[in-house]
Amino acid sequence: MAIVEIADLSALLPAGTVVAGLDLGTKTIGLAVSDLGLRFATPRPVLARVKFTQDAVALRKALDEARCGAIVLGLPLNMDGSEGPRVQSTRAFARNYSRLDERPIAFWDERLSTVAAERGMIEADLSRRKRAAKIDSAAAAFILQGALDRLAGLAYEQDSI
């Protein structure tokens, strides 16, 4: 499958599968998955990055185990909305990964996701060490939750017509 718009994701999601959220970092890939009802995002353990091929194998295994039918990938736009080198890297990862996996991939603006995730963990009184180990997956959950909320809003708009 290819890269799709977020509005098309629900229609492309196979029955009985969930959506994965990814926060692509240079050292780790944060992972979160939705419930079957597409209402809640839950963080999963981060995947350590090595090389693209190894990353893709580990990611595909994690997605298969969680029964994910689609991916929401955080897009690290600059605060002014412009695209920098990190966006180019993320888009390249998505293009390359989509050649190896049939799951549709949708991008989601991830500005401030890490900040929001860290604030939540500070409020939960997690130590710096625990926050460092979980921040990427917490950010992935924040990204995925935003996308799930948008999908719910789109479904509500469709039902109102």
pLDDT digits 0-9 by tens, 101-114: 999 999 998 866 56
Domain CATH for 32:
3.30.420.140
Closest by CA to 118, choosing from 106, 108, 130, is: 130
Strands across the sheet containing 18-24: 3-4, 105-109, 68-75, 18-24, 28-34, 41-48
Q: Which domain holds residue 29?
A: 1-158
Q: Quick one: CA torsion of 139, 61, 155, 78, rounded to 10 degrees? A: 30
Q: Which residue has the higher pLDDT, 144 or 119?
A: 144
pLDDT at 123 over 90: no
DSSP labels for the chain?
--EE-GGGHHHHSPTT-EEEEEEE-SSEEEEEEE-TTS--EEEEEEEE---HHHHHHHHHHHHHHTTEEEEEEEE---TTS---HHHHHHHHHHHHHHTT--S-EEEEE-TTHHHHHHHHHHHTT--HHHHHHHHHHHHHHHHHHHHHHHHHHHHHHHHH-
Q: Which residue has the higher pLDDT, 84 or 11?
A: 11
Task: Tell me how many domains the chain contains.
Answer: 1
pLDDT at 12 over 70: yes
pLDDT at 157 over 80: no
Q: How confident is the model at residue 66 (pLDDT cuts 50, 70, 90)?
A: very high
What is the C-alpha to C-alpha distance for residues 45 and 108, in angstroms, rounded to an integer?
20
Please state the pTM of the whole predicted model.
Answer: 0.86
